[in-house]
Chains A and B, each alone.
Chain A
Amino acid sequence: NAGVTQTPKFQVLKTGQSMTLQCAQDMNHEYMSWYRQDPGMGLRLIHYSVGAGITDQGEVPNGYNVSRSTTEDFPLRLLSAAPSQTSVYFCASSYSMSGELFFGEGSRLTVL
């Protein structure tokens, strides 16, 4: 059982470039979310989805875009990368918003 799979694990971008972080889960979870982890700041919610076709903003959505066309996939798009987006990004899913989250292994992004 793969759980939550994130790709790529590492990425280096130049300022202004765009890219997509992929997230897929095989647990048929309705709820999926993206967090960023920065030293001393814990995890901050970027965007989340409560089901296919439904997305909403979290605490720090600016500069990021998401879509949820299937239950399994929840990609995170960086539209024009900035050095402030250097971070470790985690995708997580849950059977409901009140359930425990299952996390991917993370994607470490560096923006130069």
Chain B
Amino acid sequence: AQSVAQPEDQVNVAEGNPLTVKCTYSVSGNPYLFWYVQYPNRGLQFLLKYITGDNLVKGSYGFEAEFNKSQTSFHLKKPSALVSDSALYFCAVRDHSGYSTLTFGKGTMLLVSP
């Protein structure tokens, strides 16, 4: 069975500093990997995805993520955090089979202080 681990319930960072939100996964074969963001009382919004190809994926709002196959990780990064980046972030994975569904991690709350 596929699974996602987000080891940190919360990440605190000061505005202007780089941020990393960690994600590791377990899946049979090659993964599809996604990051979503959820602002308070809103639905989830897609940030970026890895399907194949370059290990560094760039997404919305200046976020990027690095796929590391040997470490089965897909950490979300941003060079300079903004207060407006404060939100709940979810990593998700599925395999490449025809009818595999998406499995989400438990989420990491990112708090960016002014």
Query: For window 88-107 of chain A, which residues contact chain B by CB distance below 8 Å?
Result: 90, 92, 97-98, 100-106
Question: In the complex, are the beta carbons of A97 and B106 less than 8 A apart?
Answer: no
Which B residues touch A48, using CB under 8 A?
Answer: 101
Q: Which of B94, B100, B106 has a CB less than 8 Å from the CB of A42?
A: B106
Closest to A108 in B: B41
- Whether A40 is near chain B, meaning CB under 8 Å from some CB there, is yes
Given contacts A100-B34, A103-B43, contact A45 B51 (CB under 8 A): no
Q: Is the interface of A mostly helix, strand, loop or mixed?
A: strand
Number of chain B residues close to chain A: CB under 8 A:
25
Given contacts A103-B44, A105-B43, A106-B43, contact A98 B32 (CB under 8 A): yes
Map CB proximity to B onto A27-39 as digits: 1 under 8 Å, 0 otherwise: 0000001010000
Given contacts A97-B98, A98-B51, A98-B94, contact A105 B105 (CB under 8 A): no
Question: In the complex, are the beta carbons of B44 and A90 less than 8 A apart?
Answer: yes
- Whether B67 is near chain A, meaning CB under 8 Å from some CB there, is no
Given contacts A43-B90, A98-B94, contact A58 B101 (CB under 8 A): yes
Given contacts A42-B104, A45-B102, A58-B101, contact A100 B44 (CB under 8 A): no
Which A residues touch B72, using CB under 8 A?
Answer: none
Closest chain A CB from B16 CB (angstroms): 29
Question: In the complex, are the beta carbons of B43 and A100 less than 8 A apart?
Answer: no
Q: Which of A35, A50, A97, A100 has a CB less than 8 Å from the CB of B49?
A: A100
A33 to B104 CA separation, bound complex (whole angstroms): 13
Which B residues touch A97, using CB under 8 A?
Answer: 94, 98-101
Residue positions of A touching B, CB distance < 8 A: 4, 33, 35, 40-45, 48, 50, 56, 58, 90, 92, 97-98, 100-106
- For the A-B complex with A4-B43, A45-B103, A103-B43 known, give 15 more contacts whose Cβ atoms are closer than 8 Å: A33-B101, A40-B9, A40-B106, A42-B90, A45-B101, A58-B101, A97-B98, A98-B32, A98-B94, A101-B34, A101-B36, A101-B46, A104-B43, A105-B42, A105-B43
Top 8 closest pairs, chain A to chain B, by CB: A103-B43, A100-B46, A42-B106, A43-B104, A42-B104, A103-B44, A105-B43, A104-B43
